[in-house]
A and B are shown apart, each in its own frame.
Chain A
Amino acid sequence: MSTAMGLHGIPDDILELILLHLDSPICLVRASSTCKRWRHIVAGTVFLQRFRSLHEPPVVCSYRNNRLVKSRPDYEPSPSKSPATIDSRYLSLDFLPVNFKGCWNIRDSRGSVLLLDREYIREAYSRDTDMFVCEPLTRRCQLIPRLMASPAEYRTEAFLLRGAEDIDMSNFRIFYMYQPTGIAGIFTSKTGSWRRLSIYVHGMHHLGFAAGSTYWYNTNWISTVYALDHNTAEYSSFLLMLPDVGNNVDEPFFNICSRLGVTTGRDGKARILFLGADDNLKIFIATNKGSHGGSECVVEKSIQLSPSMLGVHQNCSIVSVETVCTVQIFVSRGSTEPPAWFSLDIETKELQPMTNTSRSTGFPIKLPWPPTMHACTVHS
């Protein structure tokens, strides 16, 4: 049987093995153009899943808001090791119109898509905001209907929900919240409609993302942490007893918030962090079996920071990052000394000074995955 056949005569299962060794979706898309049989294999659900499990879609580009009127966000292609890189005209967002009195503002990025809005002044003291989801590489853009027709919005919070699946134009969910009312909803691309969340709390303070949920803090009624699970798109709430705040009702809300954060522990569970005025970092874990019989945050441990570690300072605040087990600490040293940034591992207690460059992040996008392949496109 092994006569002098070319490689194109290879059986399907061996061809699959070969295609699985292609290291980038770009090569895969090109290979799928080769012939009908190859296209058919590449379009297979099982094949796509296997390919995806072997090759994480690469980041192709990172965007940055420049806040300029009549301008589009800046972009910076990723340095790529792959022989195939994306031509800049597919990254430049040149399909977004710029002929209006407003500017494009990226709110979030996830998978191959950007969540952005443009705000424009309708008349004095009246602003309108249109929100879009766009996929730069396929030059597609979708206007998202408004959650509320005429909200009394002061500012808004918007992000793309993360889940187990890859996110692209046909599969995304948006969380949107009006501040300070706390009225919020989830938009699902599959239904093309909003679902209003039943809980809304005035003045939610965003803490960050950890262990599959976004966290907020609020102390209107009683000191509480709210968590939105990105998979179920539902809230849960936990009481949070802060040690030196309970007695000090005069402490401004913002001061407390600036010393709260979240991170994901190495066990995959979320930790809520509070840096007290005495530089004592309390690490809480949210549980449904608290000592009061309900959902609350219980202290897991604490780390005492000192001037010998942070330098002589006036006060500290913390910033949540998505690195596991890590929190950033901002140290202000008064008007004469420059401030300092540190990164703290809450398990090993390792404290690293940081430079400005290592803190900046843009909005990265990845190659669309799965590439929505059409097994047999016949154009006559």
Chain B
Amino acid sequence: MAAPESGDGNNGAARMVTLISSDNTRFEVEAAAASLSQTLQLTILDGGGGGGDGIPLPNVDSATLSKVLEYCIKHAPAAANGGAPNATAVDRAELERFDNEFVNIDQSVLYSLIMAAHNLEIEGLQSLVAKKVADMIKGKSPMEIRRTLGFPDPTPEEQAEMNAHMLEYGWAYE
């Protein structure tokens, strides 16, 4: 995955930037894709990330970063024309299919992804993962939610609090 040094994207070629994960893997992507991150966008606008420099991302490991970039590359064209009035229904359906597939992953990866999306301020990705987790919670009882999200078993005190709360909001639990 190590990327060679890139030029600055003259001759009509798209400008490329280099991102460096916490475990020192270098990723070369189009600036437009990386700019989906509000945090990176500023650095890139300042001319950073080109040449041999690369932008270090000490909070994101290579597995997560590669997943994040997969999302950014897929969504960059639509983001570039602002949600795109000229995007066809086919394009939108394809993005939706991609999104559904994309978050169909292990919980620990979801966790890393939403943390990375939060740190890098990628709004669409944050929303996508948040919605996925919300869908995992919907329609479940508190105990089922705890089990789904891998909470430790409640202490007797916690259990008593849960029971009291459920009694108070009986209408929500039938």
Which A residues have a C-beta under 8 Å from some C-beta of B? 1-2, 4-11, 13-14, 17-23, 25-27, 29-36, 39, 83-84, 86-87, 89-90, 137-138, 371, 374, 377-380
4 additional contacts (CB under 8 A) given A2-B111, A31-B137: A7-B149, A25-B172, A35-B146, A377-B164
Note all chain A residues with C-beta closer than 8 A to B139.
Answer: 27, 83-84
Is B93 interfacial (CB-CB < 8 Å)?
no
A-B pairs with CB below 8 Å: how many? Answer: 123
Note all chain B residues with C-beta closer than 8 A to A25.
Answer: 172
A-contact bits for B132-157, CB 8 A (1 contact / 0 none): 01110111111001100111001001
Contact of A18 with B61 at beta-carbon distance under 8 Å, contacts A5-B108, A6-B151, A7-B149 already known = no
Jot down 20 A-B pairs with beta carbons below 8 A, ordered by A. A6-B150, A6-B151, A7-B133, A7-B150, A10-B111, A10-B114, A13-B118, A17-B130, A18-B137, A19-B134, A21-B130, A21-B135, A27-B139, A31-B137, A33-B142, A33-B169, A34-B142, A90-B170, A90-B171, A377-B161
B158 touches A7 (CB 8 A): no
- Give CA–CA (A30, B157) in the complex, Å: 18
Min CB–CB distance A375 → chain B (angstroms): 11
A1 touches B59 (CB 8 A): yes
Note all chain A residues with C-beta closer than 8 A to B169.
Answer: 29, 33, 371
- Give CA–CA (A35, B151) in the complex, Å: 9
B149 touches A8 (CB 8 A): yes
Which B residues have a C-beta under 8 Å from some C-beta of A? 59-61, 64, 107-108, 110-112, 114-116, 118, 126-127, 130-131, 133-135, 137-142, 145-146, 149-151, 154, 157-158, 160-162, 164-166, 168-174
**CB contact between B165 and one of A17, A20, A21, A39 (< 8 Å): that residue:** A39
A31 touches B130 (CB 8 A): no
- Give CA–CA (A174, B116) in the complex, Å: 51
Closest to B166 in A: A33
**CB contact between A90 and one of B111, B146, B174 (< 8 Å): that residue:** B174
Q: Taking chain B's interface residues, is the majority helix, strand, or loop, or is none over half, making it mixed?
A: helix
Min CB–CB distance A48 → chain B (angstroms): 15
Closest to A85 in B: B174
Contact of A22 with B138 at beta-carbon distance under 8 Å, contacts A2-B115, A33-B166, A90-B170 already known = yes
**CB contact between B130 and one of A14, A27, A378 (< 8 Å): that residue:** A14
- Give CA–CA (A138, B169) in the complex, Å: 7
Note all chain A residues with C-beta closer than 8 A to B138.
Answer: 22-23, 27, 83-84
Min CB–CB distance A57 → chain B (angstroms): 12
Min CB–CB distance B170 → chain A (angstroms): 7
